[in-house]
Structure 1
Amino acid sequence: MVKAKYQSVLDLGEKLNIQNEDIQVNGDTLEIRGTAATPYHKNLLWDEIKKAGGDNPSDLMADIKVADDSIYAKHTVISGESLSLIAKHYFKDPMNYKQIFAANIDILKNPDLIDPGQVLVIPNL
């Protein structure tokens, strides 16, 4: 029953390709362990945990590590996006586009010119 309650978390973990995933039911508690690729993926998992079980679920024990905490995320540009839209998505503030541009100066020459398919580093702020 507890596993069904958190099925959306388990599904998201699969979608995010959480590594070293270990899921066990121990009595009335679901135990989840694994490694997310980036802090952003870990945050997505925690947001889903809170959505399913509240801010401090007593029926879940989660130990999610991060493989690469030197960056916040990687983002593949899709048609119609701009650095400010990407910044708003990750940081809730479009003005943080400057930090994204600075982190990708090796592939971007102008903050107004990004191309679909480019993989951008989203820096830790």
Structure 2
Amino acid sequence: MAVRAKYQGVLDLGEKLKIANGDVSEENGVLKVTGTAATQYEKNLIWDAIKAAGGDSPSDINANIEVADTSVYARHTVVSGDTLGKIAKHYYGNAAKYTAVFESNTDQLDNPDMIKVGQELVIPNL
């Protein structure tokens, strides 16, 4: 299997996430990938996809992914059915961390139970 085909899911994810300054080349059976993710969360998604395709320590890919905005972990646009607990569970794996999300968004939230569809929330670094 060609290395590019092996990591096609990673490349597709990079396009979906709109990784900036993305570049992909193949040299001596090693895929070289560079680019800039918007947030650390998006960078983590890319690394998770690399590990899923190549294992924990793949030797056939060399990825250098930068992060454009290190001041936040992620940004989340509220959709119907979201709660701060559900959002915290998605990003941190722990719904109880909803308070961190609330505290980082007090400029637009007065009550953790009152979020609105379309609001863009900051998901803070923990």
- Tell me the TM-score normalised to structure 1 length: 0.99
Deviations 1:24-58 (A, max 9, x none): 00010000000000000000000000000000001
Distance in 2 separating the partners of 1:92 and 1:33:
28
C-alpha RMSD of matched pairs (Å): 0.4
Counterpart in 2 of 1:94?
95
Distance in 2 separating the partners of 1:63 and 1:22:
10
SS of residue matched to 2:56:
coil
Distance in 2 separating the partners of 1:124 and 1:90:
10
SS of residue matched to 2:96:
helix
SS of residue matched to 1:33:
strand
Percent identity of paired positions between Structure 1 and Structure 2: 58
Corresponding letter in the other structure for 1:89: H
Distance in 1 separating the partners of 2:112 and 2:43:
28
Counterpart in 2 of 1:103?
104
Question: Is 1:26 matched up with 2:16?
Answer: no
After the TM superposition, which residues 1-125 of structure 1 pair with which residues of structure 2 at under 5 Å, given as runs?
Answer: 1-125=2-126
SS of residue matched to 2:101:
helix
- Tell me the TM-score normalised to structure 2 length: 0.98
1:74 is displaced (CA, Å) by 0.3
Q: Which 4+ runs in 1 deviate beyond 4 A?
A: none
Deviations 1:91-118 (A, max 9, x none): 0111110000000000001000001111
Distance in 1 separating the partners of 2:23 and 2:93:
32
Unaligned runs of 5+ in 2: none
Unaligned runs of 5+ in 1: none
